[in-house]
Structure 1
C-alpha cells in the first residue's frame, strides 16, 4: 500500500513508509506512514499525545477489532487534549459499511458529535439475484451456480464465497473435474514462440491501445513482468468501454439487464425445481472453455495468494473460491460474478471459560453488501445470493458483533492497566465489553499475578480496585497474550529463554502442524501420509521429560528442524509443516528476542538457527513454566470408577475433566500424548467440533499445582505429622498441608507450604528464633534460657510475662519471618532486645547489649 501511494504521489519510499509487526522502513523524512492498529497503540504507550502526527486515518473501521476499538477510545481523548494545547490532531474514521450510530450517538466516546461525510465510491452497478428458497447444502449449490454461470453467461471472473479451507478445496476439486484446464507443455510453449510473428510487427501505437483498468494497473505495478504480456494482449482481451460512463449507484433489482448483447438473462440462473437442469449443471463441461480455478484463504502461502491478481491463461475464465478474506479492501481483477453462500465461519469464545468453537453462521447484512461490491469494481456485475431475501431481512444481523464482545479480554485489560487506565469500565469503548467478560478477565490476571487487589478490598468489585503488579507491567511489554508473556518473564533462568521464545512464537501462530494431508481425494494415501507425520512427531517428542513436554516439544523440534534445513517448501511439505506459519514464527522469534533485549538488556538473547533441543532437566522446567502461564487450563483424567452411572461411562471413556467445564474433553488425535494419557495436563486451548478437544497438551505433576497455581488451590490446616519446621533458605516457617485444586475440589498429594498467617505463625517463628535457628549467634544462649522455647506454643503461654512480651513485640512489627526481622533491625537496632533479656539470666544482659542485634554476629545473614 505504501509503495502504491508513493508511486501515485511521485514520492519516494523514504517519504511514504510503513511499519507492521515484523518490519518497517520509516525514516526521518517520512511524511505518510501506513501501520497496523497494534503498532499505533504501542506508540501511544510511549507518546500519549502522538506529537509527531498531525492526521490519523483509521480505515476499515467496520471490522471492529479489539485494538481498533481501544485505539478509537484513546484517540477520542487525545484529540481534545491536542486541541487545548493548540496543536490540533485530525482524526478520520473510514469505512464502507460502518454502523455510524456507535460513534455519533456515543456521548461517552465523543462529547461533541463528529461530522459524518459520505463519499460516493467509484463502483459499477451490481445486480443482486436471490434464491427463492435457501438450500441446506450451500457448498453443492455454490458449485451448481458456478457451473451455470460458466456455461451460459459472457466472459468475466467468478468469485465464490465459502466458510473455510476444506470447503474451498472441495469446490475447487469439483470445478476442475467439470471444466478441466491443462497448462501447455514446454514443447507447446516453444512451438508457439517459434510460430509467433516478429515482435516489431505486433507493436501498435499508444493511441490505439485501450486504457487499462485501475485494478490491472495495480496488478502490473506489483508484478512488472506482466506489463509486456498485458500490452500484447490488451487489444484482444480488454473491451473498449469508457469506465466513467456508468452511474455510480447500482440500479434496483428489477432494473435493466446489465449484460447487453447476451442471449441469456441472468435471472434465468435463479433456483429451479427441474432436477434435469440440476444434473446438467453438474455434468462435465467438455464443450466449454476451461475454468482457471484458484483458492484464496488466510492460511494459504503468500505466493499462492498472489496468483489471483495475475491474469488467467488465454482462453480460460478465472474462478476464485475464497473465504471472507476476499470480502474487504481486496480487489481481484476481472471479477464480474459473485456467488455468495451467505455463510461465514467465526471463532466464538465462551465469555467466562474461554472455550473456543469455530461455528458456521449467517453473515451480517453489511458483510453481504461488501461481498456483492466485489462484482462491481471493474465493470457492471452480478451477485448471486444463495439464500432468500426474506432470510436476509429477517434473520441476518445488520452488522457483525464487535470482536471485543466475542472473545476473552484479559489481554485488553492488562494492556490498559499498564497504560494507567485503572477503571476500565469507564473507558470510552465504541461498544464496551460486558461485566461478565471483565470479571472473568480480571480473575485470570489475578491468578497469573499480573494484577493484585489491595488487602483492604479482598473481595472487591470487578476491576474497581485492582492495579497492575511489577510482573504485570513486565508482561505488558511483550506483543503476545498475557499467558505467554508470563512464560517469557519466568524463563530468564536455567537457559530456558531461547526455548520459551521459540515455543511462544509457535503457539502464537495458528496451524503450524498440518492435520489434513492434501492428496487430491485419495483417502488411502492421506491415511498413509498422516501416519508418517505422526510417526515423525512421536520421534520428535522423544522419551522421559521430553515426551511429557508433549505437543510443545513437537513444536520446538519442528521449528528447529525447519530452521536447520533452511525452511524450504519441500521440507515443510514432506514433514507436514505449514510454510507460511514457519516464516511467521521466524519473524516473531526475532521480534520477541529484540523486545526481551530492550526490556532486560542483561538477557543478551539471540536467535540461533541451529539451536539444539532442550535437555531433560530443561524439559522438566519448561513443563513448570507452561503450568505457571496456564494455571486455569488444567485438566485431570477421569478414571472409570469415578463414573457411577453406567449409562455415562461410554461418554466419559478416555475423557478429561476441566475445572470450569462440566462436559468431558478429549486429547486431540494429533497429540503425541494421546497414547500415554497422563493423569494431569495443561492445554493451550479447548475447541469444539462434535466433541470438546484440547490442543497443545503438556503433562504436569500434581504436586506442582499448589506451588505454581496457588490461586487455584485450597489448602487444609497444617498437618501435625510431619510437624512444622523452619526453612533456613527462605527464612520462614513451613508446614505440610492437604490441598485440593479448583472448583471441582480435586485432591492433591500433601504439599509443603508456608505456615498460614496468624498468631500461630508468630509463635512458631519465636520458637525457632529462641532456638538459634534464625540467628546462629544466639545458639550459645539456648542452654541457659529460663524456659524451654516450646513454651511459646502452649495454650497457657500468655500467662507468663516473658512469652506474652516476646509475642507482642514480634506482632507489633509483623516479624514472622527472617527477612522482615532483618529489615526492622536495620532501622531499629535495639528491637527485641528487652523482650529477649527476659529469657536469659541477668548476668548475661551486658553481653547481649554489646552483641545486639545478633545478625551482626552472623555473617551468613
Structure 2
C-alpha cells in the first residue's frame, strides 16, 4: 500500500467532514442575517447599530469556521512529520472493524471549532483508497494565484453557459428584424409567447446595438444653414456622447427585481451598476445605470421629474395585457409624450389577446410576433363542478405525482396566500402518510409577501429522483417562468379587488379567471416538452361562464391616487385624457371630491401646496395627509412609523393551532395594551423591536412578530422620512418626540381618515359608519346628494375585524371568568368597554363588512376639530348613550 495514497485518502475524508460541518453551520445561520450579508456584499450599508452588532456576531461565526481550516492544516503538517505513525498503521492494520468514514477524527469544541482526538487509522486495499480519493475529489494545496485563476475560470464558464442560453431563445433569431422595426417606428407592439425571451433580452439587444446614445439632430426646418459647420459638429459630438437609459416596466415588484438580477447576471455585472431596478420602497441603481427595471407605479413617479422622458432612449411596457391601473395610465401618458418627443421609442409587450387593441390605441402601430418554444398541451376538464377547490387541487397533485413519470414538475394556480399554504400543507401531509410509497416532492409556494430568499427557491433544480411542485397565484401566468414544468393544475379562480366608489368599500373577491388567463396558464405546461393541463372546472364553464378578458383594473379600483398623480403631472382635464378603457365619470368625480376634502385640490381642480406635497409620497393620499398633519402636531416620526406599518400585509405570524393562536394574542396584547387601538400598537411594536438591538430575533419570537415584515417596514420608514426631509418638513429631535401623545397621534390619523369614522350601534357589537356623503360638501361648496348608497343602514354597518386588538374589548364575562382585556392591568380605560367611536384605515368586504386597523376615539371634539368644516355635526357622531351622558 502506498503511504502517500493512504495519506491523501485520509486527508480527503477529513476535508469532506469539515465541509459537511461547515455546511451545517451555514444552514443554521439566521435567514435575516444571511439576507443582510448579501446586501452588505452588494454595497448596502447597515441601517443601525443593532444590525452592525448582529452582523458582527455572524462575522465571529465565520471566523470560527475559518479556524477549522487552520486546524486541518496543522493536522496535515503533524501527519507529514509523524511518518512512523502511518507506517505503524500499515504494519499492524489498525482498527479494521470501522470504515474510515465512521472513524471520529475530530469532535466539536465549545467555541472555536474542533478538538483533535487520538490518531485512528484503518488499513485499506489500494482499490478502496482510489475510490476514496475519487469520491472526495482530493486536490493538492493551491497557491492564492491558482485559486484566483480557478475562480475566474468558473465565472467565465458560467457566463459562457448564460450566453449559450441567450442564443437559444427565440428572440435571438428575430433580433435583426425586431431592431429594424423599432428603428423605423416610434411605437411597436410585441407579441411574445411564453419563453420567447422578450423580457430579459430586448433591452440588452438595444443596449448592445449602441442605441442608447443620443443621435445628432437638426432643428425643425434646418437645411444646414445658420450656424457654422464647426459649431454644428461640436454640438453633434456632444449630443452623440450623451447616454440615455432603457427602461422596462413590470406590473409587480417581484418581477422587476428578479428580471433585473437575471439581466445583470447575463451581462456579467452586479445589480446596481449598468443594470438596476427601482420598485416601491426599494431600489438598486446608480449614475452608470443604463438598463433600468421598474414597476409601472414607480414609472409614473419618474414622469414627475422628467415629464417628456428626455433622458430615456426607449421604454418597454411589459405584461401590458394584464391591464393594471398604472399600466393603463402610463400608456395614455406615453401616447401623449411621443407626440412631443419624437426620439423616444415605445415598445408595448402584450399577449395575443390584446395586441390589436393596443395597436389601435397607438394609431395603428405595427405588431411584431415572436414565436415561443412551445409544445402541444393536452387539456383535461372535470365532468362535474368541484366542491372544495383547495382539496381538489391537493388530490390532483398527489395523483399526478404518483402516476406520471420523472422528470416533470407541476405548477399549481390558486387564488391567494391562505389557499396556497393550506394546499401545500395538504400535499406534504399526503406524502408523509403514504408510508414511503410516493417519491420525494419539493413543495414550493410563491406569493408576494413571501421573503425573497424563499421566492427564489422555485428556480432550484430538484434532485433526479425528486419532483418539484410550485403553488402560485396568477403571478406565474406571465411574470415568472419556471423551467421543467410539464403539468399544470388550474383551479380556475383568482383574487381581485373591486372598489365600490359609492359606498367606498373595497371588496376582495375570489372570481373566475378569464378565458385569456386560462390559456396563459395552459401555456406554462408546454415550454420544454409536450405538457398536460388539468382544469378543475367543466368544459361548459370554460366556454359559457368565463369572460373573454379580465375587467381592467382601472374600471374596478379607487381612483384617488391616480387622479392625484395625473394632477401632479399637469393633467387637469381628466375627461379628455386618453384612456384605453376609460373609468366611469362618477368614479372620477368621487375621487376629485375625496381629494378636495383632504385639501389636495382647490374648487377649480388645481393642486394646492398640500396636494403637491402629498403627491411626493408613494402612498395613498389619505396616508400622505396623515404624515403632513403629523408634522404640524409634532408627532411626525410616530405617524410615519404607523404609515410604514400599515403598508405591510401582516405584522404578526399566523398559526393554525388554537393554543398557539391564543399565546400569540396574549403576547400581542402586552404590546397593544398601553394605546387606544391597532395603529398605536403597531408603533409600539416597531419601537420595541428597534430598542431590542442584538435581541431583535428573540423579540420577534417571543411576541410572534414577522421579522421580515419589520425589516420591510423600516425600509419604508426610511424613505418616508427622507421624503419629509426633502420637502422641508420639521423633523423633531429625539428629545422632542420621546413620548407619544395619544391625542395628537389620533388627530393626525383622523386628518387622513375622517371619512372612516364609525359609532357603536345599540347591539354593542356592530358599528354604523358615520359618513354623510349624501350631505357632504363638494368642490363647488354646495351640499349634494350624489351618493346615496349609505342611506340604508344595512349598507353602512360594519364590524371589527377579528384580527383587531379591539375585537374582544367590552365583551361580557362568561362563567365567572374575565376576558383577556380585563386581566390586563395596564389596559387603557377606554378599551375596557367597546369604544363608542372609532376610526379605521381600511374597510374590507369578504363574508361580512369588516373594519381593519381600528383606533378608539375618546372624544367627539377630536373629530369635529380635525374634519373639514361642516362635514360632521355633533348629533351625527354621538351615540344615544353618549348623548345621555352629555345631557
Query: Which bracket does the TM-score occupy, shorter chain normalised?
Result: 0.5 to 0.7
Distance apart, 1:39 and its partner CA: 2.4
1:706 and 2:864 aligned: yes
Match for residue 672 of structure 2? 541
* 2:626 pairs with one of 468, 471, 487: 487
| 1:575–1:102 distance in 2 versus 1, CA, 3 Å | farther
TM-fit CA distance, 1:536: 2.6
Report the Cα offset of residue 653 of structure 1: 4.2
Q: Match for residue 17 of structure 1?
A: 276
> Matched residues in 2 for 1:64 and 1:179: separation?
39
| Distance change >3 Å, CA 401–CA 79, structure 1 → 2 | same
1:75 aligns to 2:343 (yes or no): no
**Superposed displacement of residue 443, structure 1:** 1.7
How far, CA to CA, are the matches of 2:528 and 2:561 in structure 1? 42
Contact 2:757 2:840 in 1 (8 A): yes
Q: Is the Cα–Cα contact under 8 Å of residues 631 and 709 in structure 1 kept in the other structure?
A: yes
Q: Does residue 284 of structure 1 match 2:417? A: no
1:174 aligned partner: 426
TM-score after normalising by structure 1: 0.63
Q: What residue in structure 1 maps to residue 348 of structure 2?
A: 93
Q: Could you say which residue in structure 2 is the equivalent of 1:66?
A: 325
Q: 2:609 aligns with which of 470, 476, 493?
A: 470
CA distance in 1, matches of 2:880, 2:327: 40
CA–CA distance in 2 between the matches of 1:628 and 1:15? 43
Find 2:591's aligned residue among 441, 454, 461: 441
Q: Report deviation, 1:130.
A: 1.9
The correspondence for 1:4, drawn from 262, 266, 269, is 262
Alpha-carbon spacing, 1:612–1:296, altered in 2? closer, same or farther (3 Å) = farther
User: Which residue does 2:538 correspond to in 1?
Assistant: 388
> Residues 144-159 of structure 1: matches in 2 within 5 Å?
144-155=395-406, 156-159=408-411
Residue matched to 1:786: none
Of residues 800, 809, 813 in structure 2, which corresponds to 1:667? 800
Question: Does the 8 A contact of 1:562 with 1:568 survive in 2?
Answer: yes
Q: CA deviation at 1:742?
A: 8.1
How far off its partner does 1:580 sit? 3.1
CA distance in 1, matches of 2:524, 2:494: 16
Give distance in 1, aligned partners of 2:802 and 2:521. Answer: 36
Report the alpha carbon displacement of residue 151 of structure 1 after superposing the two structures with TM: 1.7
Kindly tell me: are residues 135 and 492 of structure 1, through their superposed partners in 2, closer, same or farther at Cα, counting changes over 3 Å? same
Q: 1:95 to 1:496 in 2, by over 3 A?
A: same
Please name the residue that 1:554 is paired with: 681
Which of 365, 384, 394 is the matching residue for 1:114?
A: 365
Structure 2 counterparts to residues 226-305 of structure 1, below 5 A: 284=434, 286-305=436-455
Q: 1:102 to 1:7 in 2, by over 3 A?
A: same
Describe the SS at the equivalent of 2:465.
coil
> Alignment partner for residue 565 of structure 1, among 689, 692, 697?
692
**Alignment of 1:39 onto 2:298:** yes
Distance 1:495 1:714, change over 3 A: closer
Using the TM superposition, name which of 442-451 and 134-143 deviates more.
Answer: 134-143
Q: Alignment partner of 2:312: what SS?
A: coil
Contact kept in structure 1, 2:760 and 2:879, CA below 8 Å: no
Q: What whole-Å deviation, never above 9, does each CA across 1:458-510 have from its counterpart, x for those lacking one? A: xxxxxxx4222221111111110100101111122453111111111111222
Structure 1 residue 591: Cα displacement? 0.8
Matched residue of 2:533: which SS? Answer: strand
Q: Is the 8 A contact 1:55 1:90 kept in 2?
A: yes
Write the distance in 2 (CA, Å) between the matches of 1:141 and 1:620: 52
Distance 1:285 1:117, change over 3 A: farther
The counterpart of 1:691, out of the listed 848, 853, 875, is: 848
Cα distance, 1:168–1:629 mapped onto 2, change above 3 Å:
same
| Residues 734-754 of structure 1: per-residue CA shift (max 9 Å, x gap) | xxxxx4448999998999xxx
Instruction: Please state if 1:590 is matched with 2:718.
Output: yes
Change (3 A) 1:308 1:569: farther
Q: CA deviation at 1:365?
A: 1.4
Return the match for 2:645 from 486, 506, 512.
506
1:140 to 371, 374, 391: 391
CA displacement at 1:362 relative to structure 2: 0.6
- Match of residue 530, structure 1, among 661, 665, 685: 661
CA RMSD of aligned residues (A): 2.9
Number of the residue aligned with 1:55: 314
Contact 2:798 2:849 in 1 (8 A): yes
The alpha-carbon deviation at position 575 of structure 1 amounts to 2.1
Task: Please report how far the alpha carbon of residue 353 of structure 1 lies from its aligned counterpart in structure 2 after TM superposition.
Answer: 2.2
Instruction: Describe how 1:509-658 pairs up with structure 2 within 5 A.
Output: 509-514=648-653, 516-518=654-656, 526-543=657-674, 547-548=675-676, 550-565=677-692, 571-600=699-728, 603-604=730-731, 615=739, 618-640=741-763, 653-658=765-770
Alpha-carbon contact 1:673-1:697 (below 8 Å) kept: yes
Deviation at 1:419, TM superposition (A): 1.9
> Are the counterparts in 1 of residues 501 and 587 from structure 2 also a CA contact under 8 Å?
yes
CA distance in 2, matches of 1:708, 1:604: 22
For the residues of structure 2 that align with 1:137 and 1:373, how far apart are their CA atoms?
25
Structure 1 contact 597–605 (Cα < 8 Å) conserved = no
Tell me, yes or no, if structure 1 residue 343 matches structure 2 residue 493: yes
Picking from 448, 473, 485, the partner of 1:323 is 473
Q: How many residues align?
A: 579
CA contact (8 A) 1:631 1:712 kept: no
Query: Could you say what secondary structure the match of 1:400 adopts?
Result: coil
Q: Where does the alignment leave 5 or more consecutive residues of structure 1 unmatched?
A: 181-282, 454-464, 519-525, 641-651, 716-738, 752-861
1:159–1:338 contact (8 Å) kept in structure 2: yes
- Secondary structure, aligned partner of 2:326: helix
Distance 1:39 1:747 in 2: 46
Alignment partner of 1:682 is 2:682: no
Determine helix, strand or coil for the equivalent of 1:370. helix
**1:368 pairs with 499, 518, 523, which one?**
518
Higher helix share: 2
Cα distance in 2 between the residues matched to 1:377 and 1:388: 25
Query: Alpha carbons of 1:153 and 1:605: their partners in 2 closer, same or farther (altered >3 Å)?
Result: farther
Who wins on radius of gyration, i.e. which is larger? Answer: 1
Evaluate the alpha carbon distance shift between residue 474 and residue 740 of structure 1 in structure 2; reply closer, same or farther with a 3 A threshold: farther
Alpha-carbon distance change, 166 to 20 in structure 1, aligned in 2, over 3 angstroms: closer
Q: How far off its partner does 1:406 sit?
A: 1.4
Change (3 A) 1:493 1:412: same
> 8 Å contact 1:128–1:383 — kept in the other structure?
yes
Structure 2 residue runs of 5 or longer lacking an equivalent are: 1-258, 774-789, 810-832
Contact 2:307 2:569 in 1 (8 A): no
Shift in Å, 1:90: 0.7
Shift of 1:97: 4.8
